[in-house]
Amino acid sequence: MTLPSSSIICKNLKSALSNPSCVSELLQSEVSKGYLLGPFDSIPYTNFHINPIGLAEHKYSKKKRLIVDLSAPHENADHPSLNELIDKEEFSLQYVTIDDAIHLIKKLGSKSWLIKTDITDAFKIMPLKQDLWPFHGIQWDNKFYFFKRLVFGCRSSPKIFDTLSTAICWIAQNKYGIKNILHLLDDFLVIEPLEANAQATMTRLLNMFKELGIPLSAKKTEGPCVVLEYLGISLDTNKMEARLPREKIVRIKEIIDSFSRRNKCTKRELLSLLGHLNFACRVIVPGRSFVSHLIKLSTRVKKLSHHVHIKACRPDLVMWSKFLNNWNGVSFFLNDNIVKAADMQLFTDATLTSFGGFLPKSLVSRQFSGRFDINRRILYCIFRTLPHRYGLRTLGALLA
């Protein structure tokens, strides 16, 4: 990382200025926990960056948190921001996905035990190098403060913190015998087979964090159990399925309905919509085909405040509405091995009035009783031809 060669003081964001009492309270909490150095009447460094602060409110819980804009100043060649000086490639990070958890559950089998926990004040337990303190400065109420711990919003923070999480997983596996552990930054998931003593595993996990001196959130520590929400998705090892929580289905439907009535929106709003749809795609796999147009639209303008026309995307939003209105929010854990129809010697054909299907030891020929489009007729034909021993999971693998 290249250190800034010039000093700058940036103005705070409107969100902070409009709620000064909340900002003061949050700052005092940071100081009391030892995360912030200060307050100072004057800046104690010759070369420094004073970055803008603001308030972010969680859309649903309404909880407020302090944010630091380390990408400021924006588009200023004379004073590059701290994030501009951090190499993107060096600090890129590939995160664990819900598919990784599902893959491990399938490996360990039905009714596997699930345990999860979460580190409290995650980034802030990691110290900053002292020579970086001057560039993580903020100003409030004519006083100056400097962060001594990793800052949420710094380009390098996730990768740096992930080195700790990766080390924790190594310690768990090699020193505490907890073999099946995943992490996404500060979130940890442990999966144990049915025959394991999962309660003993839970005890070892908690003891490990205690001995390492890493604080955990009691509210976010759960298990051992067979149904657990991880990364916003409910995992059920008893039924071997993943589910979108009902309240999230309702929320996404409301958002889609709102966008369906609009002709344009800002890039920021479009990215928010894409965030919700990509989240739903973790379970609604076919939905991935109906976000590509929206993604392309989001790249046509540069600034978040710029508007894009979304009228042409209404068919995609209509399809998403159909997914959410006619689907129960459940996705089976499909077999990782894709079974091709030719390998099974499965052959089918359908007309407007009847269908036929062949599988070794199985021959089906029937008439359609209802009026369906040809795609549904073909799907129905495949389903009726497959014996019950293959089931829906095989059908899903065939269609994947």
pLDDT score at 156 = 94
Domain boundaries, the chain: 8-86+126-147, 98-122+157-243, 246-330, 341-399
Q: Which CATH superfamily is domain 98-122+157-243 in?
A: Reverse transcriptase/Diguanylate cyclase domain (3.30.70.270)
Print pLDDT tens along the chain (400 aa): 677 778 999 999 999 999 999 999 999 999 999 999 999 999 999 999 999 999 988 776 778 889 999 999 988 888 889 999 999 999 999 999 898 999 999 999 999 999 999 999 989 999 999 999 999 999 999 999 999 999 998 999 999 999 999 999 999 999 999 999 999 999 999 999 999 999 999 999 999 999 999 999 999 999 999 999 999 899 999 999 988 888 888 899 999 999 999 999 999 999 999 999 998 888 887 888 888 889 998 999 888 899 999 988 889 999 898 888 877 666 766 666 666 666 667 788 888 778 888 877 777 888 877 666 677 777 777 777 776 445 444 444 444 4
- Give the distance between the most distant pair of CA atoms in the chain: 86
* Angle in degrees, 0-180, between the axes of helices 246-260 and 314-325, rounded to the nearest 10: 150
Measure the CA–CA gap between 129 and 167, rounded to whole angstroms: 19
DSSP letters, 220-280, are T-EEEESEEEETTEEEETTTTEEE--HHHHHHHHHHHHHHHT-SEEEHHHHHHHHHHHHHH
pLDDT score at 365 = 83
* Same-fold call for 98-122+157-243 versus 246-330: yes
Q: Which residues of 270-286 are buried (b: 16+ CB within 10 A; e: fewer)?
A: beebeebbebbbbbbee
Measure the CA–CA gap between 19 and 289, rounded to whole angstroms: 42
Residue 344 structure tokens: 């099974």
Q: Are strands 8-9 and 49-51 parallel, antiparallel or unpaired?
A: parallel
CATH topology of domain 8-86+126-147: HIV Type 1 Reverse Transcriptase; Chain A, domain 1 (3.10.10)
Measure the CA–CA gap between 224 and 242, rounded to whole angstroms: 17
Q: Are strands 330-332 and 347-350 parallel, antiparallel or unpaired?
A: unpaired
Nearest to 161 by CA among 190, 208, 136, 124: 124
Is the preceding peptide bond at 127 cis, omega within 30 degrees of 0? no
Side-chain-facing half-sphere of 174: CA atoms under 13 Å: 6
CATH number of 246-330: 3.30.70
Q: What letter does residue 3 receive in the DSSP assignment?
A: P
310 neighbors 263 (Cβ within 8 angstroms): yes
pLDDT score at 389 = 45
Q: pTM value?
A: 0.78
Query: What are the distances in angstroms from CA 148 to CA 63, 110, 132, 145, 151?
Result: 24, 46, 8, 10, 9
Kindly report the CA angle at 204 between 198 and 205, in degrees rounded to 5?
Answer: 90
Name residue 274's amino acid.
L
First to last CA, the chain: 44
Residue 397 structure tokens: 């693998």
